[in-house]
Amino acid sequence: GGGGGGGGGCKEEWGWELQGLTHVDEKGRPQMVEVGSKQVSQRVATASALLWAPDEVMSLLDQSTGEMQGRKGPVIATAIIAGTMAAKKTHELIPLCHPLMIEGCSLEAERVGKNELKLWCTVRTSGKTGVEMEALTGVSVAALTVYDMCKALSHDMVIKETRLERKTGGKSDFSREQREL
């Protein structure tokens, strides 16, 4: 089995090629990407998650305020706080993420269908590495918080389509809207 010792590169030891992966070295071992020589730039990323919930959960949503009042308290407000906290702790949860100074984090939630709630998390920083993982972590924990706060009504909820919507800064920009046209 591959592992320690000398020997060849990743393909010889593990049977696969790196193919542009930056979080593994030439032998296939995990590594944190070196960002010391990168230029500081404005970085912004937005991620979204879609949560499907049955009628008894969605009935909590007050269309005029956008809040869901559950037994544990205000669901959306709590999800926003939880998502913000999670974005700030991403480097503690995802092993090879760099700790970042987050300059801004905002979360939103909106009913997008009879039984669907869409959540967004946007994270901003000036730094040498992007904030995609922070946005994805923030929106994921926000969706999990909605689930947690509403599960007394129904466990029949599904968190789906957690994805990066767009990012700017660094080597390349990305926008899902442009890709889906």
Q: Which residues are catalytic?
A: 148
Question: Which is nearest to 165 in space by CA: 127, 119, 128, 125?
Answer: 119
Instruction: Sort 57 into a burial class: Cβ within 10 Å, 0-12 / 13-18 / 19+.
Output: buried
Long-range contacts of 60-66 (CB under 8 A, 24+ apart): 60/150, 60/153, 61/111, 61/117, 63/111, 66/109, 66/110
